[in-house]
Chain A
Amino acid sequence: MVDVSSERRLGAALVGIAVLAVAAAQMMSPFAQPPLYDGPLPSPYVWLDAPAGQPSGAQSATMSFEPTKDHSNPLIVLSTPEYTPQAQFFALAGSFTVPAGTTSILATITPVEPEAPPPAGYIDGNVYEMSVNDQAGAPLTFATGATPITVAMRGINDPSVTGITDEMWLYEPGSGWLDAQSKYAGTAATYLANMTNLGVFALVAPGQDPNATPTPPATPTQPGATPTQPGATVTPSPGASATSSATSTPLASGTPIASATPTPIVPPPGPGSGGGGVPILSIAVLALVAAAIVGIGLFAYRRANRPPAPPSRPVQRRPKPRRR
């Protein structure tokens, strides 16, 4: 036999205390991503050049926009069609200077072959070329002082699971690979970078490519060009824009990539502080709290279910001796 009302009281106590525990755990969480307690996992990564046993058929994305009346661009949000998208970018209205006579703005994301290996590590996933052009295919220029473009790319390494964090790099034909100063987005192995120009992007992971033979050391793409070392802050030379390919947007003259962060992206802590490792302290604290909660609940439950005290025996009066 189960006392339903006492179970409900215990359940209500658990609900109340669990809400506090969830709030505490949410504050301790190293990632900003809202808690997806369950749901579909991201679909398998689709490759341009698939390793053995991996799916191929990486797709492009294209979208056209009409310029605004003040010779600017509207909000541009473009992403590849996978679940979760493998490449995407966001440009607020006014991010680009649109020359007079422009009738259409064409935004594209295309998976491409890498022109050169990264200076260290390996390319984690596909390389994507992102561009915003006018109707003739001429790249639009990033407007001075505008809010930077947010580029998001999905890789294979999810730092919350593997503990390995990728870095997003931008390939400039004249300068080689440039560190885009990306941050982990907190979900689905996706990384974000704020940019003042578009071009050819890749995620670069440290170590050896598990899907390929060891990569040869990087070589400069042009005489005199020096590949950037990982982690270095890069200021591309103004001349780099002159050597950009026709499909990539020229770099705003003299604007360092790393400085283009008006919308701060707060970096999640590294793997050592909870990303990939086991947060033993947090788990221990939560386990103690949970044990205390269950203990209190049990105490209340048992107290509510205490068998009723036996009824007191009626006082037996000794019969008075009969008078004779």
Chain B
Amino acid sequence: MTVARPTARRDVSGSPSLRLVLRPILLVAALFVAVALRVDMDHLTLPAMSVDVLFAAALMALAVRAGWRPSGLARPGWRARLRPSSVALGIGSGLVLVLIAEVFRPYPALDLVTHPQWFPAWAGVTVLVATGEEVFLRGALFDACRDLGGLPLAIGATTVAFALIHVPFYGWHVVPLDLGVGLLFAGLRLVSGGVAAPAIAHTVADLATWWM
């Protein structure tokens, strides 16, 4: 099956080629500014999880500003819809990640308890952050990099960016793991053709940690 990819919009201030180069660069810069602000705001006396909500909202706003739209909405007259195949792919891949974590962890988990009343807020914020990151990385940044350098750049840049944005929160030891997970989400993006599958897989893997 062959479809036409939507052409990049022409920027009033520059030529299309300059815009193609600048768009991924600006997106990466904006991503790391958002991560830096998240790290810095974490030390402020703000209500729990409010920083995470702001972070997710910022990523989604940046993605929309960069021209990302849900695949259905990108075509005039079409309605956005969630394909069952993408949902199934996302859930299945998320469960595979959970299974891998359970089987291949170096030693058994130690029980730590968080108050159950946190769960609704925790789950909501987890869904928001995971979706925001996927919309930005596998949506806007992936498209921008592919327009500039093709699939290798899109896969490589989004995978590396995904690994690096977690370092301030979880340390350098997560880089190998998150490189693999980023590659998986890039693959899901290619297989499904949209961000729904990686976003659902990401969300499932994150939500499972409450019980792990």
Binding site for B on A (CB under 8 A): 1-5, 7-8, 10-19, 21-41, 43-44, 53-55, 77, 79, 81-85, 88, 90, 150, 152, 158, 160-161, 185-188, 190, 192, 265-266, 274-279, 282-283, 285-287, 290, 293-294, 297-298, 301
Q: List 13 A-B contacts (CB under 8 A).
A: A11-B188, A11-B192, A19-B96, A26-B100, A32-B108, A37-B178, A40-B52, A40-B122, A40-B125, A276-B172, A286-B176, A286-B179, A290-B156
| Chain A, interface SS category | mixed
Task: Give A277 to B175 CA distance when docked, in angstroms.
Answer: 12
Rounded to whole Å, the gap between the CB of A291 and the closest CB of chain B is 8
B187 and A14: CB pair below 8 A?
A: yes
Chain B residue with the shortest CB-CB distance to A278: B172
| Chain B, interface SS category | helix
Residue from B125, B152, B183, B202 having most chain A Cβ neighbours under 10 A = B183
A13 and B122: CB pair below 8 A?
A: no
* A39-B129 contact in complex given A12-B191, A85-B115, A161-B168, C-beta closer than 8 Å: yes
A25 and B2: CB pair below 8 A?
A: no
Residues of B close to A79: CB separation below 8 A: 113-115
Task: Give A40 to B120 CA distance when docked, in angstroms.
Answer: 12
Rounded to whole Å, the gap between the CB of B176 and the closest CB of chain A is 4
* A279-B130 contact in complex given A4-B193, A22-B100, A43-B48, C-beta closer than 8 Å: no
Residues of A close to B186: CB separation below 8 A: 11, 14, 18
Which stretch in B13-21, B62-70, B204-212 binds the other chain? B204-212
Size category of the B interface is 35 or more
Query: B4 touches which one: A1, A35, A192 (CB < 8 A)?
Result: A1
Residues of B close to A43: CB separation below 8 A: 48-49
Task: Give A283 to B169 CA distance when docked, in angstroms.
Answer: 17
CB proximity to A under 8 Å, residues B103-161: 103-115, 118, 121-122, 125-126, 129-130, 133, 151-152, 155-156, 159
Instruction: Please tell me if B51 contacts chain A, counting CB pairs below 8 Å.
Output: yes
A161 and B183: CB pair below 8 A?
A: no
Known: A36-B170, A40-B52. 11 other contacts (CB 8 A): A8-B191, A14-B155, A18-B183, A22-B180, A31-B173, A34-B105, A39-B206, A40-B125, A43-B49, A44-B45, A188-B112
